[in-house]
Every structure is written in C-alpha cells, then in structure tokens.
Chain A
C-alpha cells in the first residue's frame, strides 16, 4: 500500500485514522486524523505552519505548496463539492463488483457533478464541463477499473488546479483511459470531403 499523506486524507474527506503497512513491509504506518483550522486565505506554507502548531510529534509530509488561497465561501463550497465527488468515486470503487451499487453510486457521482456546475465560476466551469462531457455517455455497466482510476486522478487534479494546464492534464488522463471529452459528430469527416 502506498503511503498517503494526512493532508490528502483530509482533502479527500476521510475523517478516520488509518493503519497500513508500507511497500517495503518494514514499517507500519499509522495515519491519524487531526482537525485544525487555518484562515481561508492561507497558502500552502501557512497551512503547514498552522498544522505544526496544532499538532505535536506529527510529521507533515508532502503538503501541496501550490494550493491557491481560498478567498470566499463559494470557493470553499466548490472545494467541498470536489471532496464529495472524491468520496462518491471511492464508494463506486468499493462497490465495483456489485453492479447495482455501482450504478447507484455512479449516478450519485453524476448528480454531484451537476451540483458542482451550479456553484462553479470561470475556469472551474470549464473543468466541470470537461468532467460532465467525460461521463455523459459512460454507463456504469461499461465502467472499467481503469476508467474509474482515470476519473479519480482527474478529480484529484481538479482540486488543485483548474487552469488551462490542469484542464489539459485532465483531458490527457481521460483520453489515455479512452474516456472522451468531445461528443461524437460522426459524419463530420465525410462532410469535409472534397473541400
């Protein structure tokens, strides 16, 4: 099992402690859930400082330094919307082998994405549309573990960057898993023939 960070645990909304064994099988990793508060405008290093003040004997590793400061309640709402998406994808993963649960949680995921559209702004909207396009024609029965993994990766990027670079990265991840973000316009090629 790979080592996940407390920050990632927190970001993905998993509010529980976790024990796992590292890849070398030499150490047991104990991950403790800690709640701490930071100002909404905090950047990556501020988050790290606040975290270290609020926790003792805990080493914080791999804090994303590129986190943008949260400047409004709407942004916070958007980020928590993404956390909900991550939780729902986790549920789809956990229940992947049960076709009924897979369907129910995948539909829930699609609905949550629609909710996210309503609270998104600017580039965020582009990111949400990109994801919406990706899953529009993706039905739960045809969902593979590889495609699910790609969606999971894409949402992770959505959380940290919704700029053009982030969107291009998402597009690539999805395309690698053969998830298409552009609708089929089947006769287009023929329409251009002889031009």
Chain B
C-alpha cells in the first residue's frame, strides 16, 4: 500500500476527537503523513472558533446551567453551532457534572495548546501551497477572553491563492468539467467558473467557504492519498486523477 497520506480537515478532527483516534494514530504512525496550512485554517475556523465562542459564554455566565440555557436558546438562531457547542461543553463538563471552573480549565487547555499540538501530532510535514495568512493567525488572550481572526476579506489578507489558481488552472478546469453535471456541486461549479475567469475572485468567500474541498484536492501532492471521512473528495479527486482513502472503508 502507498504509504503517503494527506490528512484533510475531517480526519484531523477525528484524529483528536473520534472514538477511532487510537487506530488513526497507529495507522499514520509509520507513513509519510502530511497536511496543509489550508487544512489548519479550516480546522481553526471550525473547532477553535467554536471553543472561543463557548469560552466567552462560560466567562459571561454564572453557572454551567446558565451556559447550557444560552446554548438551548442559540438553537433558534444557529442550530448547528448550538449543537456543536453543546456537544463540546457536555463532554468537557462530563455531562454538566463538573463545576464550571473545571469545564473552563478544560476548554482553556484545548485552546491554549492541546488543539494545535494534537493537530500536528503524527504529521511529518505541512504543505503551504496557498500561503494562507489566516492559518498563521495566533489565538490571543485579552481581558479573560480569547480572540482569533478567521474571516478572509478579499484584498485585505495576504495569500497566494491567486497564484495557486493560475498555477493549477488545468486541474481546476478538470474539476469544473467533471462536476458540472452533478447537482450537488452546483455552487462549487459556479465559483470555479468565476475563479477561472478572474483568479482575483479566488480570495475571500470562494476560497474560504465554497471551494475548500477543491483547493485541498489540488494542493495535495500527486503521489499522496487524501485520508478523509467526506465522500465529496472521492468525486472531486476522480476528476484530477488523485487517490482518496475513506476512513469509513479502512475498518480501523
């Protein structure tokens, strides 16, 4: 079996929080395992950002019950974020059994060093094709709260996504052609078309929100397999003749 593996965001999260994490670590241990700065940016924008949000509520509210109450209310506005934050807090507080102080310390440790350290764990090198500035953003502690910039504003951030698109135009075109008949990828194809017409449009929402899976597929070196839980990668990578490994199929 090819021993070159690229870990994308869903598997990075599984590697830290999944029940199969021990098997994942054992699986990648003796392989040339890599990831990318773009994956780190996605990871931070998801899990780290939600931890920051949760910590802010924990600091604001008196008791854990109050925090759970706030999250219940959040369901009305942002259902998915509420469920994610509820799951995190529930586990970090052992189902609300712990004191608020202990849950806060658990969350603080996650943000301070555990997430980043465990993201890097088992990784032999990090690809930096897009030179994403957001990936280098450091979490800051201010007035007992944490801050992290995760929003990409076109023209305001420094990165090489434009150059990346220009340099990989053929692959981007193949993906667009391969996906154009697939209804599930309608938005992705519209963005790809826009970016191919004007590579300046790659920065911002297109890169940050819509084209993530495509960017990761393209930036993965040719001889590496993308380890993922997301079946979309199978479809995208097929267009550019790259291999994927679905975690679910590995029977770890």
Say whether B73 faces chain A, with CB atoms less than 8 Å apart: no
Say whether B56 faces chain A, with CB atoms less than 8 Å apart: no
Given that A129-B106, A133-B106 are contacting pairs, would A185 and B88 also be in contact in the complex, using a CB cutoff of 8 Å?
Answer: yes
Question: Hey, which chain B residues are within 8 Å of A190, CB to CB?
Answer: 10, 229
Say whether A66 faces chain B, with CB atoms less than 8 Å apart: no
Q: Which A residues are closer than 8 A to B by beta carbons?
A: 125-126, 129-130, 133, 164, 167-168, 171-172, 175, 178, 180-193, 195
The residue of chain A having its C-beta at the shortest distance from the C-beta of B101 within the complex is A125
- B interface residue count range (under 10 / 10 to 19 / 20 to 34 / 35 or more): 35 or more
Query: In whole Å, how far is B233's beta carbon from the nearest beta carbon of chain A?
Result: 11
Interface of B is mostly: helix
Given that A129-B106, A182-B118, A192-B84 are contacting pairs, would A164 and B112 also be in contact in the complex, using a CB cutoff of 8 Å?
Answer: yes
The 7 closest A-B pairs by CB, nearest first: A183-B91, A189-B13, A185-B17, A188-B17, A189-B10, A189-B14, A192-B46
Other 17 A-B pairs with CB < 8 A, given A182-B118, A193-B229: A125-B101, A125-B105, A126-B108, A129-B109, A167-B113, A172-B117, A175-B25, A175-B118, A178-B25, A178-B26, A180-B22, A182-B16, A183-B92, A185-B88, A188-B88, A190-B229, A192-B10
Name A175's contact: one of B18, B88, B91, B121 (CB within 8 Å).
Answer: B121
A126 to B105, CA, bound (A): 6
Q: Are A184 and B18 in contact (CB under 8 A)?
A: yes
Question: Hey, which chain A residues are within 8 Å of B113, CB to CB?
Answer: 164, 167-168, 171
Question: Hey, which chain B residues are within 8 Å of A178, CB to CB?
Answer: 22, 25-26
Q: Which B residues are closer than 8 A to A by beta carbons?
A: 9-11, 13-14, 16-19, 21-22, 25-26, 46-47, 80, 83-84, 87-88, 91-92, 101-102, 105-106, 108-110, 112-114, 117-118, 121, 229-230
Question: Hey, which chain B residues are within 8 Å of A193, CB to CB?
Answer: 10, 229-230
Question: Hey, which chain B residues are within 8 Å of A129, CB to CB?
Answer: 102, 105-106, 109
Question: Hey, which chain A residues are within 8 Å of B108, CB to CB?
Answer: 126
The residue of chain A having its C-beta at the shortest distance from the C-beta of B83 within the complex is A191
Query: In whole Å, how far is B187's beta carbon from the nearest beta carbon of chain A?
Result: 11
Q: Are B102 and A184 in contact (CB under 8 A)?
A: no
A126 to B106, CA, bound (A): 8
